């Protein structure tokens, strides 16, 4: 008796995670690999840290690839995406995580245009146009897996910090971009979501860890603890699963209750 069931393996979905050499991006990449995705990781350079990150994600399962490029360099986006898809296949999930903090923290009235431009070029302009390129790739193909665009912003999209206004403005801009993208793609079955982490334990926050330890102990975060990269990774995988498709455009606060208005 001959079976009509194909024995060909089904290709794993592919997730592209930007800024995945360390921190939140690395945790997200690991979560997607463990959940059954092949994972493309990006960073500004391929160094020992990138190699270690690749090894960690590979250990979680599936194929991994690393593409070194500056997200602020729009001219480099096309070649990077072509190389990723040649190695792993079509991108099903984009996680916009790459970003930088304020170049210099200080008085808003002393903010210089060059520093503002640097932050905007990476956090907002680069992210927006990389997303545009990936989405065009997605729409040009018939999907085999659930598709999603996840953008990691920050509680700073809504909570002001005048000493780093450039960073806050970039994240607020991302929030509005996500809303516009969700409307544009609402009829395509590509879920679009914004993830807003709060105080997360990463290399970026390590230099102010004592400050936040005191603030958390004093009640700043109702959950009473730091957030971890794994908290963000689990949420990202769930949103990309397709289970929340009708919630496209949703903003997910991942901050232990930090942003909830209180008396």
Q: 102 by DSSP, 3-state: which?
A: coil
Q: How far, CA to CA in Å, does 239 sit from each of 146, 168, 189?
A: 10, 24, 13
Question: So which residues are the catalytic ones?
Answer: 167
Q: How far, CA to CA in Å, does 123 sit from each of 1, 151, 153, 157, 210?
A: 59, 10, 9, 12, 26
Spell out where the chain has E strands. 14-17, 38-43, 64-68, 93-96, 147-152, 190-197, 251-254
Q: Which two tokens stand for residue 105?
A: 């923290």
Place of tokens 């289970």: 243
DSSP class of residue 254 equals E
Measuring CA to CA, which residue among 239, 234, 259, 132 is closest to residue 194? 239
d(CA 54, CA 21): 8
Measuring CA to CA, which residue among 197, 60, 74 is closest to residue 133? 74
**Going by C-beta distance under 8 Å and a sequence separation of 6 or more, which residues neighbour residue 78?**
133
d(CA 222, CA 233): 21
């Amino acid at each position: 008796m001959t079976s009509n069931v194909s024995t060909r393996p089904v290709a794993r979905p592919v997730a592209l995670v930007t800024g995945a050499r360390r921190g939140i991006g690395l945790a997200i990449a690991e979560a997607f690999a463990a959940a059954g995705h092949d994972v493309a990781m990006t960073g500004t350079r391929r160094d020992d840290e990138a190699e270690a990150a690749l090894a960690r994600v590979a250990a979680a399962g599936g194929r991994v690839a690393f593409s070194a490029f500056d997200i602020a360099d729009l001219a480099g986006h096309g070649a990077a995406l072509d190389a990723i898809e040649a190695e792993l296949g079509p991108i099903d999930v984009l996680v916009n995580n790459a970003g930088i903090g304020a170049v210099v923290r200080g008085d808003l009235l002393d903010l210089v245009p060059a520093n503002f431009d640097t932050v905007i070029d990476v956090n907002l302009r680069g992210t927006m146009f990389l997303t545009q390129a990936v989405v065009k790739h997605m729409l040009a193909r018939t999907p085999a897996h659930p598709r999603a665009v996840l953008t990691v912003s920050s509680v700073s999209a809504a909570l002001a910090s005048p000493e780093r206004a450039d960073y806050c403005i970039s994240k607020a801009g991302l929030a509005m971009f996500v809303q516009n993208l969700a409307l544009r793609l609402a009829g395509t079955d590509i879920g679009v979501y914004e993830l807003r982490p709060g105080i997360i334990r990463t290399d970026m926050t390590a230099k102010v860890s004592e400050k936040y330890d005191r603030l958390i102990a004093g009640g700043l975060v109702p959950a009473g603890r730091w957030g971890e990269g794994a908290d963000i990774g689990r949420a990202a995988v769930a949103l990309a699963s397709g289970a929340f498709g009708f919630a496209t455009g949703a903003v997910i606060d991942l901050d232990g209750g930090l942003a909830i208005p209180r008396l």
